[in-house]
């Protein structure tokens, strides 16, 4: 089974022929069709997040169920599925209280030191138990969500990370209300989804902030009412000026300490900053001690605070109604072998989202 393997941080991905296990209890074997090229993968390649090497990245993925392990009932052979990078157990406190994105209860008996993939006799880990940059994945079936026949697997893959993350940050985490003012730092795959979800939620002002001019142009197509090029001007001042003193919601969609603090500064008294990007674990986000008097909120958002079985079908319905643009997010399609070029282009900031055609239907 062909897979792109990351052997160490700051090295290119290498194509290798891996051995894959049969699915065990609670697992499914899925044939990967489409995988998105996401900044979260890049964090592991660049080493800003620690990985268990060698590893197979890829967490924005869709495919077709090929085999089921014992006890799996939520999907069937032949189902076309989103391969979610959280696999909720369905019965812990988090799952039961409507926060399945925070579930950490294992749903299979597989141990981290005995992964489903091996290269020779060496174990190979899978990012988020998915490892989608591979022709096949054995993963916990509880993370699989069947999609309707009229949804393409390209669209399904993007719903599996960037769309859910951006839409959910607005609707679930921040609960943006009609008439709100919003600033979004980073107009990439996640940022564009924050922008279009904010438009859908009725935000009256949506200020996109980025350093790449043509991304700001795309941001306007997705619903930004104003744009700020942070490479040319002081972004905090510009947002405060445009919004008349600060926004109700500042979203950070890059994953940096500095931009997280900027999102907080952009929020007005009583406003909220939402950190959506993967800020490195050792970084500290610092805010003014005046937080008490200003009644500001600094909040994290993981996977759009997703309630998967409620939100993903809803997102697909909004897509079908033409209210969420998912096709327009994909600015480039790559062959699987071109994966390193795909990441080079992501680094350069030239694309909103690109996808790898790993298999065919």
Q: 266 vs 324, which CB is nearer to Zn ion?
A: 324
**Is residue 354 within 8 Å of residue 331, measured between CB atoms?**
yes
Tokens of 267: 């929020």
**38 a catalytic residue:** yes
The one among 38, 56, 238, 276 contacting Zn ion by CB under 5 A: 38
CA distance 307 to 1: 32
The CB-of-272 to Zn ion minimum distance in angstroms stands at 23
Question: Residue 57, interface with Zn ion (CB under 5 A)?
Answer: no
**103 a catalytic residue:** no
| Minimum distance of Zn ion from residue 38's CB (angstroms) | 3
Instruction: Kindly tell me which of 87 and 180 has the beta carbon lying closer to Zn ion.
Output: 87
Range in contact with Zn ion (rule: CB under 5 A) among 49-57, 74-82, 83-91, 275-283: 83-91
Beta bridge partners of 273: 250, 298
Q: Single out the residue of 40, 142, 243, 259 in contact with Zn ion (rule: CB under 5 A).
A: 40
Work out whether 92 is an interface residue with Zn ion (CB under 5 A). Answer: yes
- Whether 39 sits among the annotated catalytic residues: the reply is no
How far, in Å, CA of 299 to CA of 97, rounded? 18
Tell me the residue length of the chain: 361
User: Residue 98's CB: how many other CB atoms inside 10 A?
Assistant: 11
Q: From the CB of 296, what's the least distance to Zn ion, in Å?
A: 27
Closest separation between CB of residue 292 and Zn ion, Å? 34
Of 39, 137, 142, 161, which one is the catalytic site residue?
161
* 88-94 LR contacts (CB < 8 Å, sep 24+): 88/142, 88/143, 88/308, 89/142, 90/142
- Residues 164-203, one symbol each (x = binds Zn ion by CB under 5 A, - = not), give ----------------------------------------
Q: Which is nearer to Zn ion, 92 or 242 (CB)?
A: 92
Gap between the Cα atoms of 138 and 65, Å rounded? 10
243 binds Zn ion (CB under 5 A): no
Report which of 174, 184, 233 is spatially closest to residue 205, judged by C-alpha positions: 184
What does residue 14 show for φ and ψ, rounded to 5 degrees? -120, 130
Between 54 and 160, name the residue whose CB sits nearer to Zn ion.
Answer: 160
Measured CA to CA, the distance from residue 358 to residue 361 in angstroms comes to 10
Please give the structure tokens belonging to residue 106: 């294992």
Taking CB under 5 A as the criterion, which residues in 97-116 touch Zn ion?
103, 105
Taking residues 145 to 164 in sequence order and writing x for each that binds Zn ion by CB under 5 A, - otherwise, the string is: ----------------x---
Question: At its nearest, how many Å lie between Zn ion and the CB of residue 161?
Answer: 3
Give the C-alpha separation, 354 to 289, whole Å.
41
Helices (H), 86-222: 93-96, 153-158, 164-168, 189-200, 213-221
Q: Among residues 81, 86, 95, 329, which is the contact residue for Zn ion, using CB under 5 A? A: 95
Catalytic residue flag (residue 309): no
Q: Do the Cβ atoms of 285 and 252 come closer than 8 Å? A: no
Catalytic residue among 39, 59, 95, 125: 59
Kindly list the residues in this chain that would bind Zn ion in the complex (CB under 5 A).
38, 40, 60, 88-89, 92, 95, 103, 105, 161
Report the catalytic residues: 38, 40, 43, 59, 161
């Amino acid at each position: 089974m062909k897979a792109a393997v990351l052997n160490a941080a700051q090295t290119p991905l290498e194509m290798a022929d891996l051995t894959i296990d049969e699915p065990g209890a609670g697992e499914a074997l899925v044939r990967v069709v489409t995988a998105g090229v996401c900044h979260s993968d890049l964090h592991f390649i660049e080493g800003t997040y620690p990985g268990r090497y060698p590893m197979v990245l890829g967490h924005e993925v869709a495919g077709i169920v090929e085999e089921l392990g014992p006890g799996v009932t939520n999907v069937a052979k032949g189902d076309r599925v989103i391969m979610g990078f959280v696999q909720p157990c369905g019965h812990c406190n988090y799952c039961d209280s409507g926060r399945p994105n925070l579930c950490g209860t294992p749903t299979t008996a597989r141990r981290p030191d005995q992964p489903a993939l091996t290269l020779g006799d060496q174990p190979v880990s899978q990012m988020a138990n998915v490892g989608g940059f591979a022709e096949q994945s054995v993963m916990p079936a509880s993370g699989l969500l069947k999609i309707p026949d009229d949804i393409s697997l390209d669209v399904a893959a993007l719903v599996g990370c960037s769309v859910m993350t951006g839409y959910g940050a607005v609707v679930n985490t921040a609960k943006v209300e009609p008439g709100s003012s919003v600033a979004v730092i980073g107009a990439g795959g996640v940022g564009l989804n924050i922008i279009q979800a904010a438009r859908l939620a009725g935000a009256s002002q949506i200020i996109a902030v980025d350093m790449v001019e043509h991304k700001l142009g795309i941001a306007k197509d997705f619903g930004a009412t104003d744009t700020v090029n942070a490479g040319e001007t002081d972004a905090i001042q510009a947002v405060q000026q445009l919004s008349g003193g600060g926004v109700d919601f500042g979203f950070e969609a890059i994953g940096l300490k500095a931009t997280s603090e900027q999102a907080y500064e952009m929020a007005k008294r009583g406003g909220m900053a939402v950190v959506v990007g993967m800020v490195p674990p050792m970084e500290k986000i610092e805010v003014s001690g005046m937080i008490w008097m200003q009644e500001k909120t600094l909040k994290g958002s993981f996977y759009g605070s997703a309630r998967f079985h409620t939100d993903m079908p809803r997102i697909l319905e909004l897509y079908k109604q033409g209210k969420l643009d998912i096709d327009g997010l994909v600015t480039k399609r790559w062959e699987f072998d071109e994966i390193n070029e795909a990441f080079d282009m992501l680094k350069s900031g030239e694309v909103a989202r690109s996808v790898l055609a790993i298999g065919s239907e």
